[in-house]
C-alpha cells in the first residue's frame, strides 16, 4: 500500500475499542471489496491476531500493527503504524523490520507545524503519513495541499461514515481509515466495504 492509488482506497482499522472480529466476520469484510491494508490497534490473543494476519495476507492485504514493533515482527506483519512522529521510533522500527516493511507515521494535525512535520517524516523514509484521529478528521485543506505538493501517500483518519470518507477522498486522501462504521454496519462488514468501494470509485479527486 506504499504507493498512491488513482482511486482512494480503504485502510481498515480493527480498533482496540471493540473486540477483535472473529474469523468469519473478518473474512466477510475482506471479501466485500477493495481493502488496501488492515491496522490492528488492539491486543487480541496471539492466536486471534495470527489468524487475522494470515487471512489478510492470503488476500494480498497488508497488515500493520499499531506501534508495537516486536509484535509486528513476531506475527510476520507487513509493518507498523507509528501513532506519533518520532524520529528515534521510526529508525528503530526500520532497523528491526527492514527496508521492505511498511512504516507509516501519524502526524498531529493540531500542531502548528503539521506540514513541516509531515515532510520531515517523508524525509526519514516513511511509507505514508497519516492525518486526523478517531472521530476527528483532518482539515480538507491540509489533504488538498499534500495531494498537490507531495508524492508520498497520505491516510486520512477520523471518518465515521461513508459520506465523511468520500469527503476526505475528494479532498485528496490516498487512503481513508474506517473502523466501527465497517464492523457495526447493519448489513454486515462485507456490505460496508462493498458500499465504500462503490462510492470511492465515483469520487473525483483534486
Question: How many separate domains does the chain show?
Answer: 1
Within a domain: 153: yes
Q: How far apart, in whole angstroms, are the C-alpha atoms of residue 185 and residue 194? A: 11
Q: How far apart, in whole angstroms, are the C-alpha atoms of residue 6 and residue 53? A: 26
Range of the domain at 53: 9-201
Q: Is the pLDDT of residue 46 over 90?
A: no
pLDDT at residue 5, rounded to an integer: 54
Q: Is the pLDDT of residue 86 over 80?
A: yes
Q: Read off the CATH number of the domain in which 131 is found.
A: 3.20.20.70
Between vectors from CA 60 to CA 199 and to CA 180, what angle results, nearest 5°?
45
Within a domain: 177: yes
Q: Would you mind telling me the total number of residues written for the chain in this entry?
A: 206
Q: Is the pLDDT of residue 191 over 90?
A: yes
Within a domain: 131: yes
pLDDT at residue 1, rounded to an integer: 57
Q: Report pLDDT digits (tens) over 144-184.
A: 999 999 999 999 999 999 999 999 999 999 999 999 999 99
State pTM to two decimals. Answer: 0.94
Q: How far apart, in whole angstroms, are the C-alpha atoms of residue 128 and residue 159? A: 18
**DSSP string for 117-155:** HHHHHHHHT-SEEEE-BTTBPPPHHHHHHHHHH--S-EE
Average confidence score pLDDT of the chain: 93
Segments of 5-147 assigned E as strands: 9-14, 35-40, 62-66, 79-82, 102-106, 128-131
Q: Is the pLDDT of residue 2 over 70?
A: no
pLDDT at residue 153, rounded to an integer: 97
Within a domain: 109: yes
Q: How far apart, in whole angstroms, are the C-alpha atoms of residue 101 and residue 115? A: 24
Q: How far apart, in whole angstroms, are the C-alpha atoms of residue 171 and residue 190? A: 26
Q: Report pLDDT digits (tens) over 109-157.
A: 777 899 999 999 999 999 999 999 988 999 999 999 999 999 999 999 9
Amino acid at each position: 500500500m506504499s504507493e498512491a492509488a488513482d482511486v482512494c482506497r480503504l485502510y481498515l482499522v480493527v480498533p482496540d475499542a471493540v473486540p477483535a472480529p472473529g474469523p468469519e466476520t473478518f473474512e466477510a469484510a475482506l471479501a466485500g471489496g477493495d481493502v488496501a491494508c488492515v491496522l490492528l490497534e488492539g491486543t487480541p490473543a496471539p492466536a486471534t491476531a495470527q489468524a487475522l494476519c494470515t487471512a489478510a495476507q492470503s488476500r494480498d492485504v497488508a497488515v500493520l500493527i499499531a506501534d508495537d514493533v516486536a509484535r509486528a515482527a513476531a506475527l510476520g506483519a507487513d509493518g507498523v503504524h507509528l501513532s506519533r512522529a518520532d524520529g528515534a521510533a521510526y529508525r528503530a522500527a526500520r532497523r528491526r523490520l527492514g527496508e521492505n516493511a511498511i512504516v507509516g507515521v501519524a502526524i498531529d494535525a493540531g500542531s502548528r507545524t503539521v506540514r513541516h512535520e509531515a515532510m520531515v517524516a517523508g524525509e526519514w523514509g516513511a511509507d505514508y503519513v497519516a492525518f486526523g484521529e478517531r472521530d476527528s478528521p483532518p482539515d480538507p485543506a491540509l489533504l488538498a495541499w499534500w495531494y498537490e505538493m507531495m508524492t508520498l501517500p497520505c491516510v486520512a483518519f477520523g471518518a465515521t461514515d461513508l459520506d465523511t470518507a468520500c469527503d476526505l477522498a475528494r479532498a485528496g486522501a490516498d487512503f481513508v481509515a474506517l473502523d466501527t462504521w465497517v464492523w457495526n454496519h447493519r448489513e454486515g462488514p462485507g456490505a460496508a466495504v462493498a458500499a465504500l468501494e462503490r462510492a470511492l470509485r465515483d469520487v473525483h479527486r483534486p
